[in-house]
């Protein structure tokens, strides 16, 4: 109602905003002080557009202000009151609608404009469309347009019904029997003859359709056989002006319907109270039900009624087709079921799909459908009796324990087991929806990895789609679902590296902590050795101080090319992970026997391993890579005062 009210206000606001928009340079001049113009005076051409057909009285009187605020909130023009309050001063009868026995739905909601135009209309009573069309915007016209149409209907619904509210059910202008008698003279000979000379004066709608029917005489679609064949005496007898029901031992209905016997389980049948469910003369519903199947069962059985918070309905329940599963009188299964589960379920749900699969889920295989699913409705999706994960964990208790692991697979955390698993079974091992081989299942979610998997630079387990070699499907005690300590997991394949590391005296810190993924990508990389980055960028991620002089000073070329020129990537027998001792490392590139080397060192021969006492091995502020802070004599290059005896 609130939404419709908002749309109504907005619509009317736009109409009057259109009126306001018409006021421009050619509009009449502003009136003298103290004189107020009306909407109609400023917008005569707009008002004229509402003067055709049937015109609402305030519009006819050019009194826009009767319903609208004259100013509103610029640029929006508002109603004085929302519907229906704005209508009540002129239509006070509607104030008593709550006291009436039946109220038309739009009236009850206060949405007058659902049927009426507030300004003018081509149709009587300011209707939005012709009367029949107006009614059929909400009421399905199928029941009104069958072969034989009730004569008053041709003159419109309002012949019998009050369009707004009434003291009788179904908005009838009079009580049902009195309304029929206002046209049909029940005391005439022709009327009595048509009714087998029975003194019929009441309960007309027990046999006749009110609006239209396929049968002559407006008889309802399904007619009780004695009535159809004119054998009313089979059930009734006349005593004076009273029509009575014959008394038969064992029950009148059972005298003909002897197939409904002692086997009956439905309480009304056992009690012989057939009219709880069935009409006695005629009906618009199969089986001569007194009401539509969507309603008749719900009069007694609440479990079929849709409740607040329901997320899933069994399809027959949603359609009101209770008899799809239940018999009306008796059944071989409990609750009047036509058969027990799973046979009943498989009458609609293909057994080959839900149970007889290559790898079936045990409850489905054994037909225990109701272990997991509710029969009518559920506040869970797919008619589940519990939250999906709780339902699965009620049997898979070992898997439940994985919820406490350090990292968990996102669908597993959300309790969405069916993201990966087929709940009834399938042709894949582990009840998987898609095969785990070649990473097919994982890649349905991790699509960004699909291209990397096909690259030649992919790590072999990943390239082969063996995701579960490294990752736990539900959770793990390591980040990123890694099954075990990354180092141990890597060594399960790279045992040669493990053997190599055991010989080193000094180990690279990530290696010592067995954190291989600090440097290597588990899925693969275009870099050699599946490194996360190329050299030296990878090492600078941890050792950024190495490059502190590279931007504004000088870089040692080997350091800028690859750290492993001088250092071992995993470990070494030497300090600082150098690939060999310092006295051997520098001379691999720097020949100490050349004239240039001798001149640069003022004729002094450096001691073994002394290079790094003066030079930064990675870079420095100047090309000579000397440390920025120097001993006084050394700063101007005067080494002899301290090293007199070492001159060559």
Instruction: Please check whether residues 528 and 400 belong to one and the same domain.
Output: yes
Nearest alpha-carbon partner for 207 in 189, 187, 184: 184
Instruction: Please check whether residues 467 and 486 belong to one and the same domain.
Output: yes
Q: What is the pLDDT of residue 18?
A: 39
Instruction: Please check whether residues 556 and 426 belong to one and the same domain.
Output: no
Instruction: Please check whether residues 418 and 352 belong to one and the same domain.
Output: no
Instruction: Please check whether residues 437 and 489 belong to one and the same domain.
Output: yes
DSSP assignment string, 483-501: SS-HHHHHHTT-HHHHHHH
Cα separation, 551 vs 301, in Å, equals: 82
Cα separation, 583 vs 581, in Å, equals: 6
Cα separation, 538 vs 522, in Å, equals: 15
The percent helix, strand, coil of the chain (3-state, each to 5) is 40, 10, 50
Cα separation, 282 vs 431, in Å, equals: 53
Cα separation, 351 vs 344, in Å, equals: 11
Cis ω on the peptide bond leading into residue 75 (within 30° of 0)?
yes
Instruction: Please check whether residues 411 and 455 belong to one and the same domain.
Output: yes
Cα separation, 178 vs 437, in Å, equals: 78
Please give the DSSP secondary-structure letter assigned to residue 578: B
Specify whether the CB–CB gap between 144 and 213 falls below 8 A: no
Compute the C-alpha angle 410/468/524, nearest 5°: 95
Question: What are phi and psi for residue 384, nearest 5 degrees?
Answer: -70, 145
Residue 288 in domain? no
Instruction: Please check whether residues 2 and 124 belong to one and the same domain.
Output: yes
Q: Which residues pair with 120 in a beta bridge?
A: 55
Query: What total number of domains does the chain contain?
Result: 4
Instruction: Supply the range of the domain harboring residue 523.
Output: 391-534
Residue 528 in domain? yes
| Residue 548, both tokens | 């502190």
Residues in the chain predicted with pLDDT less than 70, given as ranges, are 1-35, 72-77, 260-264, 304-306, 645-648
Q: What is the pLDDT of residue 629?
A: 87
Instruction: Please check whether residues 597 and 626 belong to one and the same domain.
Output: yes
Q: What is the pLDDT of residue 646?
A: 59
Cα separation, 4 vs 139, in Å, equals: 19
Instruction: Please check whether residues 77 and 132 belong to one and the same domain.
Output: yes
Residue 276 in domain? no
Cα separation, 106 vs 115, in Å, equals: 8
Question: Up-side HSE of residue 478: CA atoms within 13 Å toward CB?
Answer: 18
Instruction: Please check whether residues 583 and 508 belong to one and the same domain.
Output: no
Alpha helices in 182-314 (DSSP H): 189-194, 225-228, 252-256, 267-270, 293-296
Cα separation, 585 vs 125, in Å, equals: 105
Specify whether the CB–CB gap between 529 and 520 falls below 8 A: yes
Residue 568 in domain? yes
Nearest alpha-carbon partner for 486 in 503, 498, 474: 498
Residue 233 in domain? no
Specify whether the CB–CB gap between 431 and 358 falls below 8 A: no
User: What pLDDT, in 10s, does the model give residues 590-610?
Assistant: 998 899 998 888 888 888 888
Instruction: Please check whether residues 415 and 444 belong to one and the same domain.
Output: yes
Q: List, in order, residues 6 or more apart from 549 with CB less than 8 Å away.
A: 555, 616, 618, 619, 620, 621
Cα separation, 104 vs 414, in Å, equals: 47
Q: What is the pLDDT of residue 22?
A: 37
| Residue 520, both tokens | 């290597």
Q: What is the pLDDT of residue 35?
A: 61
| Residue 516, both tokens | 């291989």
Terminal alpha carbon distance of the chain = 105
Residue 307 in domain? no
Model pTM above 0.75: no
Residue 588 in domain? yes
User: What pLDDT, in 10s, does the model give residues 548-569?
Assistant: 999 999 999 999 999 999 999 9
Q: Which of 514, 534, 554 is the last residue of a domain?
A: 534
Nearest alpha-carbon partner for 376 in 294, 305, 295: 305
Instruction: Please check whether residues 454 and 336 belong to one and the same domain.
Output: no
Q: What is the pLDDT of residue 28?
A: 40
Q: Which of 335, 353, 385 is the last residue of a domain?
A: 385
Q: Which of 534, 559, 591 is the last residue of a domain?
A: 534
Cα separation, 330 vs 336, in Å, equals: 5
């Amino acid at each position: 109602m609130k939404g419709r009210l908002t749309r109504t206000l907005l619509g009317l606001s736009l109409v009057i905003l259109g009126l306001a928009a018409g006021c421009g340079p050619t509009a009449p001049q502003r009136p003298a002080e103290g004189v107020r113009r009306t909407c109609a005076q400023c917008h005569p051409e707009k008002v004229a557009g509402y003067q055709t057909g049937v015109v609402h009285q305030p519009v006819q009187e050019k009194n826009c202000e009767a319903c609208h605020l004259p100013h509103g909130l610029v640029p929006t023009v508002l109603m004085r009151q929302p519907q229906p309050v704005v209508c009540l001063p002129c239509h006070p009868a509607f104030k008593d609608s709550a006291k009436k026995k039946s109220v038309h739905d739009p009236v009850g909601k206060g949405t007058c404009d659902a049927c009426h135009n507030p300004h003018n209309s081509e149709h009587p009573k300011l209707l939005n469309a012709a009367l029949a069309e107006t009614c059929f915007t909400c009421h399905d016209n199928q029941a009104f347009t069958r072969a034989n149409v009730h004569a008053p209907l041709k003159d419109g619904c309002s012949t019998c019904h009050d369009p707004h509210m009434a003291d009788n059910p179904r908005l009838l202008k009079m009580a049902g029997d009195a309304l029929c008698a206002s046209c049909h003279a029940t005391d005439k000979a022709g009327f009595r003859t048509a009714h087998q000379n029975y003194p019929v004066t009441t309960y007309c709608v027990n046999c006749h359709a009110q609006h239209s029917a396929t049968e002559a005489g407006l008889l309802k679609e399904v007619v009780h056989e004695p009535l159809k064949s004119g054998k009313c005496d089979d059930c009734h007898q006349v005593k004076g002006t009273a029509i009575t029901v014959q008394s038969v031992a064992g029950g009148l209905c059972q005298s003909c319907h002897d197939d409904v016997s002692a086997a009956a389980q439905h309480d009304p049948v056992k009690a012989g109270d057939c009219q709880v469910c069935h009409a006695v003369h005629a009906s618009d519903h199969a089986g001569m039900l007194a009401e539509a199947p969507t309603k008749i069962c719900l009069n007694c059985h609440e479990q079929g009624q849709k409740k607040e918070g329901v997320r899933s309905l069994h399809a027959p329940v949603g359609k009101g087709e209770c008899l799809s599963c239940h018999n009306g009188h008796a059944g071989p299964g409990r609750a009047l079921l036509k058969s027990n589960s799973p046979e009943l379920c498989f009458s609609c749900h293909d057994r080959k799909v839900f149970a007889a699969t290559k790898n079936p889920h045990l409850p489905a295989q054994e037909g225990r459908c109701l272990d997991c699913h509710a029969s009518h409705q559920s506040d869970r999706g797919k008619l589940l009796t519990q939250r999906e994960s709780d339902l699965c964990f009620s049997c898979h208790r070992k898997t439940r324990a994985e919820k406490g692991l350090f990292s968990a697979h996102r669908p597993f955390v959300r309790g969405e087991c069916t993201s990966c698993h087929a709940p009834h079974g399938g042709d894949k091992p582990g009840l998987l929806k898609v095969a785990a081989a070649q990473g097919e299942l994982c890649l349905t979610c991790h699509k960004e990895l699909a291209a990397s998997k096909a690259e030649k630079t992919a790590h072999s387990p990943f390239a082969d789609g063996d995701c579960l070699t490294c990752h736990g499907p539900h959770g793990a005690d390591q980040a990123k679902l890694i099954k075990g300590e990354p180092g141990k997991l890597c060594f399960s394949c790279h045992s040669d590296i493990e053997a190599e590391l055991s010989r080193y005296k000094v180990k690279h810190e990530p290696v010592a902590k067995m954190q291989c993924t600090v440097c290597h990508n588990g899925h693969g990389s275009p870099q050699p050795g599946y490194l996360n980055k190329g050299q030296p960028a990878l090492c600078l991620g941890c050792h950024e101080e190495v490059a502190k002089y590279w931007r504004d000073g000088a870089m040692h070329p080997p350091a800028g090319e690859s750290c492993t020129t001088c250092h071992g990537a995993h470990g070494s027998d030497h300090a600082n992970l150098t690939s060999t001792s310092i006295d051997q490392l520098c001379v691999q590139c720097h020949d100490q026997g050349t004239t240039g080397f001798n001149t640069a060192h003022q004729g002094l021969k450096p001691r073994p391993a002394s290079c790094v006492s003066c030079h930064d091995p990675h870079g420095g502020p100047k090309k000579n890579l000397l440390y920025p802070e120097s001993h006084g004599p050394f700063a101007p290059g005067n080494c002899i005062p301290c090293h007199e005896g070492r001159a060559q």
